Chain A
Amino acid sequence: MHSASHRLNFDEHRTLFDPIANPKKGVTIAMGILVALSAWGALCYFLQWRYGLGASGLNQPVLWGFYITNFVFFIGISHAGTLISAILRMAQAEWRRPVTRMAEVITVAVLFIGAANILFDLGRPHKVYMPLFYGRYQSPLLWDAMSITSYLTASSVFLYIPLIPDIAILRDRFADRKWLHRFYQVLSFGWNGNPKQQKVLNVGIAIMSVVVIPIAVSVHTVISYIFSMTVQPMWHSTIFGPYFVCGAIFSGIAALIVMMVTLRRVYHLESYLKPIHFNYLGVLLLVMSLLWFYFTFSEYLTGFFGHEPSEMRVFWSKFTGPYAPFFWTMVFCNFVVPVIILSFKKLKTITGVLVASIAVLIGMWLERFTIIVPTLANPRLPYPSGIYFPSWVEWGIMLGSFSFFVFLYLLFSRFFPIISIWEVHEGKEVGVKEVEERVKSYLPESAANVST
């Protein structure tokens, strides 16, 4: 009856409907725990709201800490998403099909958490409407507000457009469930997969994949500008834009891999996410690791060689001073671990790639931390400064942020397929033939003639 569904055998993709049709008890329990942890974070934030930012461990020179670190980190992870899926779509990489949705969901979910962390950092959250009325565009913070809003809008649209055919499939699959059916009916915009609709959809996806890339790049560039637009030692660096974008994509791929491995386990997606997917993503991760190291090396070598006294105070506090453990753990996690694991075929198993990704996530969080805190702790004028210890309130809010992110992710997977059904289906039906044609077109004419 509907062309979207008559071609599609519901039973064939049963594992993809399962999380929605018969949710597993374990997932529900996990979501409950995550809600509890998020509630704990909310309670911590309530305390901070009540008693002021003094509830955190921040102090005079170190006036930004965990919240800003988390902000940069979360927004960084969001680049997984949309950016990777847009690039893979534009490159027509066929292996993208089961990956893109997962990446796009990360982006949207994590952007909310990242933006919330800015609110956690405000001294007077009840005055948060002030930028609406009195905002000024000279401040990099407003640039951030603009770029994050546009990124959130763009990535939501980018998540939604390729979701429409899947919602239609769900609408037909859950015709017997009154409310769920109605919910999908509204969201599917009456999709039935006829060629005209198909064309509109493809044009929409194509436009968005192009538009979302510059937006994503601008977002993390502008976030780096928060730091590099000041004249503080080791912040005031022209390399910060690309350095942050590189780190963002790096941590984004790592987060994507961790999510993929986890959901593959939880929802039994082994037949969709094969070792080859992790292999390819592992290669991307390796490339980004090397690129990250190159940026880090350039950044610190120029600082060291220039030997400006105030820069050197920050430099040594990272290399040998109180922040050295974090700095060297960062180098170990971001460079040593992924390069060793991902360079050897034997180690590049799914478990290996997972270990490398977790290391990268830890390392990239530490990278944000070691960029922000040591500079603040070593200002230009001699200033009595101690090491910054986050308070339990900050730990609580951080725990809550991470839990709420995973919760949002699971919540999405509870209502929408976490792997794009129609795209996988299309890959089977059309993709194989298309790729064959495409490969043939790469080859010299004569060779093609000979073979036929």
Chain B
Amino acid sequence: MALWGMVIDLDKCTACQACMVACKSENNVPFVGKGQAERGRVISWLDMVTETEEEYPEARTKFIPRPCMHCDKPPCVKVCPVYATYRNPEGIVAQIWDRCIGCRFCMAACPYNVKYFNWHQYRIPKTMERGLNPDVYVREWGVVEKCTFCSHRLLKARDRAAAERREMRADEYIPACVEACPSNAMYFGDLKDPESTVSALSRSPRAFHLLEDLGTEPKVTYLMEGERHALR
């Protein structure tokens, strides 16, 4: 069994937000409209977190693309009352949309705020209906949703390999954000395979995790920005 993980190199990331757009269209993430957005109800599975570091002599703003961390010890899974979110054997924190009762406990428990709630039944504009991805479920109102590491792509890749009667290669499965990144700042692969790029990079001295001290053991690793950080 593989253990899927992601590495994001903040040095290479230009904060162009192509990943956000790719994610949104790949996963049929609803457009909430201006009014709802102003009320703080934007749904964005992959969000760009800005963090202003007060580092002397000058203040610097960091841009951090933030998908779901797919923690190995996910706080959201612990609190779900109905098995609507669980950690599957391949390390993906998966969702059963249809079972979610919308109590939003997982949202309250997630320290990374990666979970989003469908406050209304959001409609996809008519002109964009044909752009919907047929591989991904369209979520109903009242459901909590989040990044799945594009797990439908994993299923697809595995099915294709099975049809061709061969083993699936790890590089056949790439989430949309990684595929879209123009500066090659994102890597994806099997963390268990010591040969893979992600496992090599996640052992790099520049590697860190968001809110590491909470013990959630995220599978999204970041590589620190700037050479002076590298020298630390």
Which residues of chain A have a CB within 8 Å of any CB of chain B?
Answer: 51-54, 57-64, 118, 121-124, 127-128, 130-131, 134-136, 138-142, 145, 226, 229-232, 376, 379-386
Cα of A383 to Cα of B121 in the assembled complex, Å: 24
| Residue of A64, A123, A145, A385 contacting most chain B CB atoms (<10 Å) | A123
* CB within 8 Å for A134 and B103 given contacts A231-B214, A383-B113: no
Q: Is B99 an interface residue (CB 8 A)?
A: yes
Give the number of A-B contacts (CB < 8 Å): 139
If A64-B104, A123-B143, A380-B111 are given as contacts, then 9 extra A-B residue pairs at C-beta distance below 8 Å, sorted by A number, are: A63-B108, A118-B103, A122-B103, A123-B104, A123-B117, A128-B101, A134-B83, A135-B82, A232-B111
Are B81 and A136 in contact (CB-based, < 8 A)?
yes
B200 → chain A closest CB, angstroms? 27
Which residues of chain B have a CB within 8 Å of any CB of chain A?
Answer: 36, 39-42, 49-52, 66, 75, 78-84, 99-105, 107-109, 111-113, 116-121, 140-144, 210-211, 214
Cα of A53 to Cα of B112 in the assembled complex, Å: 22
Cα of A63 to Cα of B102 in the assembled complex, Å: 11
Are A63 and B107 in contact (CB-based, < 8 A)?
yes
Are B211 and A381 in contact (CB-based, < 8 A)?
yes
Residues of B within 8 A of A122 (CB): 101-103, 142
Are A136 and B80 in contact (CB-based, < 8 A)?
yes
Q: List 18 A-B contacts (CB under 8 A).
A: A52-B119, A60-B40, A60-B117, A63-B108, A64-B108, A123-B143, A124-B100, A124-B102, A127-B100, A138-B78, A140-B79, A141-B105, A229-B79, A230-B108, A232-B111, A381-B66, A382-B50, A384-B40
A87 → chain B closest CB, angstroms? 32
Are B117 and A53 in contact (CB-based, < 8 A)?
yes
Residues of B within 8 A of A383 (CB): 49, 113
* CB within 8 Å for A54 and B105 given contacts A61-B113, A380-B211, A381-B112: no
Residues of B within 8 A of A135 (CB): 81-82
> Which B residue sits closest to A133, measured CB to CB?
B82
Are B119 and A53 in contact (CB-based, < 8 A)?
yes
| Residue of A122, A139, A386 contacting most chain B CB atoms (<10 Å) | A139
> Which A residue sits closest to B120, measured CB to CB?
A54
Cα of A299 to Cα of B229 in the assembled complex, Å: 37
* CB within 8 Å for A139 and B81 given contacts A60-B41, A123-B100, A123-B142: yes
Are A123 and B42 in contact (CB-based, < 8 A)?
no
Cα of A58 to Cα of B144 in the assembled complex, Å: 14
Cα of A61 to Cα of B41 in the assembled complex, Å: 9
Are A123 and B144 in contact (CB-based, < 8 A)?
yes
Are A231 and B118 in contact (CB-based, < 8 A)?
no
* CB within 8 Å for A139 and B79 given contacts A52-B141, A124-B142, A230-B108: yes
Cα of A54 to Cα of B118 in the assembled complex, Å: 8
Residues of B within 8 A of A131 (CB): 81-82, 101
Q: Which 4 A-B pairs have the closest CB atoms?
A: A123-B102, A123-B142, A54-B119, A59-B40
Partner of A141, one of B103, B121, B141, B144: B103
Cα of A385 to Cα of B117 in the assembled complex, Å: 15
Are B82 and A134 in contact (CB-based, < 8 A)?
yes
A33 → chain B closest CB, angstroms? 33
Partner of A51, one of B51, B80, B120, B143: B120
Residues of B within 8 A of A232 (CB): 108-109, 111
Are B79 and A230 in contact (CB-based, < 8 A)?
yes
> Which A residue sits closest to B43, measured CB to CB?
A60
Cα of A82 to Cα of B45 in the assembled complex, Å: 46
B141 → chain A closest CB, angstroms? 4
Residues of B within 8 A of A229 (CB): 78-79, 109
Cα of A130 to Cα of B142 in the assembled complex, Å: 14
Cα of A407 to Cα of B139 in the assembled complex, Å: 39
Residues of A within 8 A of B107 (CB): 63
A81 → chain B closest CB, angstroms? 27
Are A136 and B102 in contact (CB-based, < 8 A)?
no
Cα of A381 to Cα of B110 in the assembled complex, Å: 10
* CB within 8 Å for A381 and B111 given contacts A122-B101, A127-B99: yes
B52 → chain A closest CB, angstroms? 8
> Which B residue sits closest to A60, measured CB to CB?
B40
> Which B residue sits closest to A233, measured CB to CB?
B111
Are A386 and B40 in contact (CB-based, < 8 A)?
yes
Residues of A within 8 A of B116 (CB): 60
Are B105 and A226 in contact (CB-based, < 8 A)?
yes
Cα of A65 to Cα of B100 in the assembled complex, Å: 20
* CB within 8 Å for A141 and B81 given contacts A52-B121, A124-B102, A381-B49: yes
Are A231 and B75 in contact (CB-based, < 8 A)?
yes
A125 → chain B closest CB, angstroms? 8
Are B104 and A139 in contact (CB-based, < 8 A)?
no
Residues of B within 8 A of A140 (CB): 79, 105
Residues of A within 8 A of B79 (CB): 138-141, 229-230
Residues of B within 8 A of A386 (CB): 40
Cα of A230 to Cα of B78 in the assembled complex, Å: 9
| Residue of B50, B79, B103, B109 contacting most chain A CB atoms (<10 Å) | B103
Residues of B within 8 A of A51 (CB): 120
A348 → chain B closest CB, angstroms? 41
